[in-house]
Amino acid sequence: MLAGLGSVGQVQGVPPNPFLMASGALSPWERARFLVHENPSISLAVALNFSLLYQEEARSEGVNPDVAFAQMLLETHDLRFGGQVQAAQNNFAGIGAIDGGNHGLSFLSPREGVRAQIQHLKYYAGNAPLVHSPVNPRLIWIRRSCAPTIWQLAGTWASDPEYGVKLNDLLNRMTRFAQKDPLVTVSHVFGGSG
């Protein structure tokens, strides 16, 4: 097993956790495979690096990496973008994008963009201080502790009243996907015949 990937298939029978502050149930490997399933134009190696980035940043702040990753999938259309926010902005959660208006904030790197999202989620979930220095200038506008679960993100993070339902659907789909066909060889990640 590759270091940091976690065990494969560890979510058997475990329902998705809707709390923003939680450890999550999926491994980076499982999240990466789901991303490639949803967007086959992304290589498994790129998806895995992206998933590991989410794991590192979310764990450092105590945020649920499954929720953060699902939110990224929803906001970016599985990293296809095409909406108000463009890929070059490194904004994976629509931070600062307003319906029919502003295109949102831009961040210097994918890590900074993921960190901004994680910090934003942490502020929505509770009052705990940040581990890392803030990279998200919009944090000052957040009413802390307004959304401890995905359900409260509707009408707070996003204007869509079905936002929590959509996130829950993604979390359920990610979990179901992880439960079927969990075995993929390392050569699928790094190339080779299998």
Per-residue confidence at 103, pLDDT binned at 50, 70, 90? confident
Residue type, 71: Q
> Could you tell me which residue, 149 or 191, shows the higher pLDDT?
149
pLDDT score at 193: 43
Mean pLDDT, range 19-24, rounded to an integer: 97
Closest by CA position to 65, among listed 28, 113, 107, 14: 28
Residue spans of the domains in the chain: they are 28-176
User: pTM, whole model, 2 decimals?
Assistant: 0.88
pLDDT score at 180: 86
> Tens of pLDDT along 164-176?
999 999 999 999 9
Partners of 97 in beta bridges: 103
> Could you tell me which residue, 194 or 160, shows the higher pLDDT?
160
Topology of domain 28-176, per CATH? Lysozyme (1.10.530)
Asked whether 138 and 105 are in contact (CB, 8 A), the reply is yes
Mean pLDDT, range 1-9, rounded to an integer: 44
> Could you tell me which residue, 169 or 185, shows the higher pLDDT?
169
pLDDT score at 13: 62
Dihedral sign, CA of 29, 32, 34, 37? negative
pLDDT score at 190: 52
Distances (CA, A) of 108 to 58, 91, 135: 18, 10, 10
Dihedral sign, CA of 98, 103, 107, 111? positive
pLDDT score at 12: 56
Q: At residue 61, what are phi and psi to the nearest 5 degrees?
A: -105, 0
What does the buried/exposed string (b/e) look like for 32-65 if buried means 16 or more CB atoms within 10 Å of the residue's CB?
A: bbbbbebeeebebeebbebbbbbbbbbeebbbbb
pLDDT score at 98: 83
Average pLDDT value for the chain: 89
Enter the DSSP assignment of 8.
Answer: T
The pLDDT > 70 percentage for the chain reads: 86
Asked whether 65 and 55 are in contact (CB, 8 A), the reply is yes
Length of the chain: 194
